[in-house]
Amino acid sequence: MYRTKTVAELLGIPRNTLLAWERRYELVQPDRQDNGYRTYTEDDLRRLRALKRLLDDGHRIGEAVAMVSAQPAAEQAPRGGTAQLVEDVLAHLLSFDRDAAMRALEGAGPLRFSTQVDEVLGPVLRRLGEGWLSGTVSIAQEHFGSAFCRERLQGILTQLGSGPDDGPGAVLAGFPGDPHEGGLLMAAVHLSLRGHRVSVLGPDVPAEAILEVAQARRPRLVGVSVMREASAAEVLSHATTLDIALPPNVWLLMSGPGLGDAELPPMRRVRWRADARALPEGPPPVGSDLHR
């Protein structure tokens, strides 16, 4: 669910314009929370984005509203439906049939971005990785399927514009020596949907490169994806290097299956195994007593 300010930023329009569209054309009908705030669904966002695109293309507002209103509302596939979709997409990818995998996705109807990420593309990536580790999926199949999922995730991120230009910044990078990028892209989609301006540096990024971008962009958070198995010493060394040199108002998130069950010490600005969507409000409480 998204508030008015976030939706206006994602669309790149003034808040008053958004409210005028609601009042005059009733294209979307946001819910109101107990505190009076409007809240919008992903389908609301999709419809409003389609309206803005038509207006940017030169259509008149009444014509654009009619065109968007004629489109079916996006709905999540029924529970179990996405599970079958995962099986279908995976089977096509294991047969190296990209077109069939694309048809399966498109045939499922308009799925919300978060549904595509959490219930389809994420599970497909996990199944490919597990199959490769167990020897039931060849390296060619894993590479082919992973490339398809990355392409879809990058497409979603492109549609979102990597978030609003003036949203709080997020820099996402892969752990050194880690070639996987799927987790980074999934996190980028979720953060963009929540109004962050996201920069994805890609897999296998050294601390020095992350710090260079963080100094230039001054993000609210830096996220490091640890997909490959890493020792506690490796992880702690990387986190400490970043912690010492990052600007003081930046959160540092370290997440991923590669962390395993390692015992990692508490650090004021660091969130181990954290979901960036649950990041506390405001800057981290960095002080002189920060654990090093």
Instruction: Assign residue 108 the CATH number of its domain.
Output: 1.10.1240.10
Instruction: Give residue 207's domain range.
Output: 169-278
**289 lies in some domain:** no
Where residue 236 sits, what CATH number does that domain have?
Answer: 3.40.50.280
Tell which of 69, 104, 125 closes a domain. Answer: 69
Encode pLDDT of 61-96 as tens digits. 877 887 777 665 555 444 457 899 999 999 999 999
**252 lies in some domain:** yes
The structure's pTM equals 0.72
Encode pLDDT of 17-70 as tens digits. 888 888 888 888 888 877 777 888 878 888 888 888 888 878 788 778 877 776
Q: How far is it, in rounded angstroms, from Cα 187 to Cα 274?
A: 11
Structure tokens at 150: 């990355």
Residues 211, 129 within the same domain: no
Residues 31, 86 within the same domain: no
**164 lies in some domain:** no
Residues 7, 33 within the same domain: yes
Residues 247, 177 within the same domain: yes
Residues 173, 243 within the same domain: yes
Query: Is 101 exposed, middle or buried (CB count within 10 Å of its CB: 0-12, 13-18, 19+)?
Result: buried
Please state, in angstroms and as integers, the Cα–Cα distance from residue 42 to each residue in 2, 39, 67, 236, 269, following that order: 8, 10, 19, 37, 31
Tell which of 113, 133, 159 closes a domain. Answer: 159
**121 lies in some domain:** yes
Where residue 60 sits, what CATH number does that domain have?
Answer: 1.10.1660.10
Owner of token pair 């490169």: 209
Residues 178, 265 within the same domain: yes
If one counts every other C-beta atom within 10 angstroms of the C-beta of residue 177, the result is 12
Residues 173, 274 within the same domain: yes
**291 lies in some domain:** no
Residues 120, 212 within the same domain: no
Please state, in angstroms and as integers, the Cα–Cα distance from residue 115 to each residue in 66, 120, 129, 153, following that order: 27, 7, 20, 12
Would you give per-residue pLDDT tens digits along the chain (292 residues)?
678 888 888 888 888 888 888 888 888 888 887 777 788 887 888 888 888 888 887 878 877 887 777 665 555 444 457 899 999 999 999 999 999 999 998 877 667 788 889 999 999 999 999 999 999 999 999 999 999 999 999 988 887 778 777 788 999 999 999 998 999 999 999 888 777 889 999 999 999 999 999 999 999 999 999 988 889 999 999 999 999 999 988 999 999 888 888 889 989 899 998 777 677 667 787 554 444 4
Please, what's the largest Cα pairwise distance for the chain? 61
**74 lies in some domain:** no
**284 lies in some domain:** no
Listed residue (39, 41, 23) closest to 31, CA to CA: 39
Residues 64, 93 within the same domain: no
Residue 188 confidence (pLDDT): 92
Tell which of 69, 101, 128 closes a domain. Answer: 69
Q: How many domains does the structure of the chain reveal?
A: 3
- Stated as kind and residue range, the H or E segment containing 54 is helix 42-56
**191 lies in some domain:** yes
